[in-house]
Amino acid sequence: MKFIEEQLKKVGQLFEKGKPLEKLYPLYEALDTFLLTPGKTAPKAPFVRDAADLKRVMSFVVLALVPATLFGIYNTGYQIELAKGLAHSFWGAMAAGAWKVIPIIVVSYAAGGLWEVLFAVTRKHEINEGFLVTGILFALTLPPTIPLWQVAVGISFGVVFGKEIFGGTGMNVFNPALVARAFLFFAYPAQISGSTAWVAVDGYTRATPLAVAAAAPKGTSVVQALADAGYNFNNMFYGFIPGSIGETSALACLVGLAFLLVTRVASWRVVVSCVLGLLAMSGIFYFLKGTDRLAFFALPPYWHLVMGGFAFGAVFMATDPVSAAATNTGRWIYGFLIGVLTVLIRVVNPAYPEGTMLAILFMNAFAPLIDYFVVENHIKRRVRVKS
Amino acid sequence: MGEALLSSKNQKILKDGFWDTNPITFQILGICSALAVTTQLKTALVMSLGLTFVTAGSNVVISLIRNFIPSQIRIIVQLTVVSALVISIDQILRAYMFDVSKQLSVFVGLIITNCIVMGRLEAFAMGNPPWKSFLDGLANGAGYSAVLIIIGIIREIFGSGTLLGYHVIPASVYAQGYVNNGMMVLAPGAFFLLGIIVWIQRSISGYKES
């Protein structure tokens, strides 16, 4: 530790004002504060500087994503083995998965990081660790077959249009990782939807559970249709199914959620209300089920929790403190509507099999409005009590 | 009079309309048509020519009769002149370029309500002589055209891989796994491009939010 500190100090002199590398100071600062606790303390007495600054908070999110990432790598390899009919071996699956997933993550970090550094240097501010989260979140929402150049295009769009044009970390209206994914979804739909994208074997097609459920004809049992396609509640919960890299396992997301809640990074209100909204809307559909209605209506509501990207979105995307609602009442409304919209898009919108991404982006746009009314309402009540 | 045709004052009129107060990037006018007709360069070009013709033409006409228009009914008079010009363009397009006319659909007719045209009439032609008004209309039309053409080129190349209908992205690139960007043929694609152009233009021209 001492050694690192001394070396950094030595190199750091090169980046000070008037020295040759002054322009690249943000790069040095990022490395310095990433390795060591920043030495800054509050200058005046009544203030305390929490050790959990932006950097630590963001690192916690990255840590929380570790289970989903590792499982995503394993599952990508496992699905390849299944598709090719190979014998199953844990390390074989990990290796095959890593071969597909690691390049996606690396490209995501490299391309996005380039923009991040470019903006930090021109705007003369620090490189924000928010990007560490965006880079991995984005990679985990992609199918394992995604072409690498599309990863680069997507993350570039997400960082510049999702974040930097609003002024950088903390100013963004939308979750940058989701903006990046939405861009790819609309720009190159063939590579990120349909039934060929989800298993990294050329020419292999297998529909995702949501696509199967949406395609079940009227009057048939949706659970049976899922079972025929090889999907049941258990394997969807554990995540041994094709899908985007990091989102197949609801279990891995739950582990991440536990960590985020213990470290108080994520708001439990958002997560709980997302789940409530999802159950409420799918409950209504379940109540309305009948032979002349879509077969999807008859899916048991709790199944929605483990299908598609809902668990991943609710835990890691909806809880993003920047783009979510900031008042407690607002968080309940915001999360609840995400759940409701997710089910609405999944079940009754034939154009999009999955609704989590669009639901969260949509509610991101409304979060400031929700907060506004919550605060207004609060002020009104206070005034009434006083008079 | 006695002023040279392109005196420094007149040059400033040209520069203002084209660059410093560009109708799209500075005044944020005419956005609707800029989004709607720019999926291909061809339609963008025709629309640009049409709008430039109407802006310059109506500016001259209104400027000629500006001292005889009762100010209470000036908008109606302006609209009449603009409509006459737009209808003649529409008829010419239908007669000679029917396919383009069909692609542009209502957007030629909607030039009548284009804010740039009315804006220049109200802000410039009502108070300036014909030649200056003509230059002003021309410059604003050109400023609008420049943005439309840039967006048209980018959208057609990345959205369809063509330019004016000719394939410009070689098949070997597609064989490498390249695919056309579906976002570019949708209106949001134009929105993002427009945003980038406004961003670049304003940082170069030193625009300050008032």
Return the pLDDT at A49.
63
Calculate the CA dihedral of residues A118, A161, A166, A269 and round it to 10 degrees: -120
CA distance A96 to chain B (A): 22
Query: Taking 60 as the threshold, does the pLDDT of residue B139 lie above it?
Result: yes
Query: Taking 90 as the threshold, does the pLDDT of residue A74 lie above it?
Result: yes
Mean pLDDT of chain B: 89
**pLDDT higher for A173 or A34?**
A173
d(Cα A86, Cα A246) in Å, to the nearest integer?
23
Residue pair A274/A336 in contact by the 8 Å Cβ criterion: yes
d(Cα A116, Cα A110) in Å, to the nearest integer?
10
Return the pLDDT at A36.
62
Rg for chain B, CA atoms, rounded: 19
Return the pLDDT at A50.
67
Q: In this structure, what token pair is assigned to residue A275?
A: 């789940």
How many other β-carbons are positioned within 10 Å of the β-carbon of residue A109?
19
Least confident of A34-38, A127-131, A319-323: A34-38
Which among A197, A187, A131 is positioned nearest to A160, based on CA atoms? A131
Contacts of B11 (CB under 8 A, 6+ apart): none
Chosen for mutation from A150, A153, A192, A193 (greatest number of chain B CBs closer than 10 Å) is: A150
User: Which residue on chain B is closest to A182 by alpha carbon?
Assistant: B183
Return the pLDDT at A51.
64
CA distance B5 to chain A (A): 43
| Phi, psi (degrees; rounded to nearest 5) at B166 | -95, 140
Return the pLDDT at A219.
79
Confidence of residue A40 (pLDDT cuts 50, 70, 90): low
DSSP letter for A126, please. Answer: P
Region B137-154: what's the mean pLDDT?
Answer: 93
Region B183-207: what's the mean pLDDT?
Answer: 89
- Express each pLDDT in A199-230 by its tens digit: 888 878 888 888 888 888 887 888 888 888 88
- Express each pLDDT in A308-352 by its tens digit: 889 999 999 999 888 999 999 999 999 999 999 999 999 888 888
Region A229-239: what's the mean pLDDT?
Answer: 89
Region A18-31: what's the mean pLDDT?
Answer: 70
Confidence of residue B32 (pLDDT cuts 50, 70, 90): confident
Q: Is B179–A161 a contact, with Cβ atoms under 8 angstroms apart?
A: no
Coil, strand, or helix at residue A125? Answer: coil
Confidence of residue A185 (pLDDT cuts 50, 70, 90): very high
Return the pLDDT at A69.
94
Return the pLDDT at A136.
93
- Express each pLDDT in B33-47 by its tens digit: 888 888 889 999 999
Confidence of residue B110 (pLDDT cuts 50, 70, 90): confident
What are the residues facing B162 on neighbouring strands? B167
**Token pair 């049992």 in the structure block, residue:** A221
Which among B125, B148, B145 is positioned nearest to B136, based on CA atoms? B125
d(Cα B121, Cα A236) in Å, to the nearest integer?
65
Return the pLDDT at A150.
93
In Å, how far are A32, A35, A216, B91 from A2, measured between CA atoms? 13, 12, 63, 81
Q: Is A187–B178 a contact, with Cβ atoms under 8 angstroms apart?
A: no
Rg for chain A, CA atoms, rounded: 23
Confidence of residue B151 (pLDDT cuts 50, 70, 90): very high
Chosen for mutation from B179, B198, B202 (greatest number of chain A CBs closer than 10 Å) is: B179
Region A349-359: what's the mean pLDDT?
Answer: 87
Q: Which one-letter amino acid corresponds to residue B40?
A: Q
The proportion of chain B whose per-residue pLDDT surpasses 90, expressed as a percent, equals 47
d(Cα A316, Cα A312) in Å, to the nearest integer?
6
Question: N- to C-terminal Cα distance for chain B?
Answer: 36
d(Cα A61, Cα A257) in Å, to the nearest integer?
10
- Express each pLDDT in B48-84 by its tens digit: 999 999 999 999 999 999 999 998 999 999 999 999 9
Mean pLDDT of chain A: 87
Residue A97, classified by CB atoms within 10 Å of its CB into exposed (0-12), middle (13-18) or buried (19+), is buried
Give just the sign of the alpha carbon dihedral B114, B115, B117, B122: positive
| Region class of A163: left (phi > 0), else alpha (psi between -120 and 50), else beta | alpha
B154 shares contact with chain A (CB less than 8 Å): no
Q: In this structure, what token pair is assigned to residue A277?
A: 């909204």
Residue pair A147/A100 in contact by the 8 Å Cβ criterion: no
CA distance A359 to chain B (A): 18
Return the pLDDT at B156.
93
- From chain B, the residues in CB contact with A187 under 8 A are 181-184, 189
Which among B159, B139, B181 is positioned nearest to B38, based on CA atoms? B159
Return the pLDDT at A221.
86
Contacts of A280 (CB under 8 A, 6+ apart): A336, A339, A340
Measured between CB atoms, which of B179, B186, B192 is closest to A188?
A: B179
Query: Taking 70 as the threshold, does the pLDDT of residue A34 lie above it?
Result: no
d(Cα B22, Cα B142) in Å, to the nearest integer?
9
Chosen for mutation from A123, A183, A196 (greatest number of chain B CBs closer than 10 Å) is: A183
Measured between CB atoms, which of B179, B183, B186 is closest to A190?
A: B179
Count CA within 13 A, CB hemisphere, residue B62: 38
Query: Taking 60 as the threshold, does the pLDDT of residue B1 lie above it?
Result: no
Least confident of A47-51, A139-143, A218-222, B17-21: A47-51
Confidence of residue A54 (pLDDT cuts 50, 70, 90): confident
